[in-house]
Amino acid sequence: MTDTSFYVRNMLLQYDKQLVTARRLARYRHALRLAAGEEASAIPADVKRKMMVERIAREVVENLILSGSDNPVVRSIKEELEAQAGFPLIFKYPPTELEMQIFRDTPEGPVELNTGEKAELMERLWAITLDKVDDTML
């Protein structure tokens, strides 16, 4: 037997021992959770789905809609929002500011929405995005 085969065999034995120990610890943790009254999957499936929908909707609003993406889902969200608002919208993140600006597109040029209109529009945007994401998820 060569030195390298001995070292390889020794390494594989150590790895096998680590796997057995990890499985034993996982079973022990599971038993402790069950003894404490927690179930293995404490979060129901519908709650997990809702959390996932909200996470994806947040990503869509923050990254896709405001960046001007031409994704079909984003396009349909913007169209529905503009239909509800009754006028075309422009979303901008000025380079020197941290807060997003929303403009109403008028024949005279873009006009920034006031704080109340912006808050109402963001609520509508969030509701529409949640509905669209929920409809498109499997």
Residue 79 in this model has a pLDDT that exceeds 60: yes
- The chain-wide mean pLDDT, for the chain, equals 83
* Structure confidence by residue, pLDDT tens digits, 12-50: 888 888 888 888 888 888 888 877 776 655 677 888 889
Q: What pLDDT is stored for residue 41 in this prediction?
A: 59
Residue 104's φ and ψ, nearest 5 degrees, are: -95, 125
CA distance 45 to 40: 13
Q: What pLDDT is stored for residue 101 in this prediction?
A: 82
Q: What pLDDT is stored for residue 63 in this prediction?
A: 76
Cα dist from 85 to 52, 79, 88, 117, 129, whole Å: 28, 10, 8, 10, 15
pTM: 0.63
- 101-106 and 109-112 beta bridge pairing: antiparallel
* Structure confidence by residue, pLDDT tens digits, 87-97: 888 888 777 77
Q: Which of 59, 43, 44 is nearest to 133 (CA)?
A: 59
Residue 99's φ and ψ, nearest 5 degrees, are: -95, 140
Q: CA Rg, the chain, in Å?
A: 26
Taking every pair of Cα atoms in the chain, the longest distance, rounded to a whole number of angstroms, is 88
* Structure confidence by residue, pLDDT tens digits, 96-105: 777 778 888 8
Instruction: Count the Cβ atoms, other than its own, within 10 Å of residue 26.
Output: 10
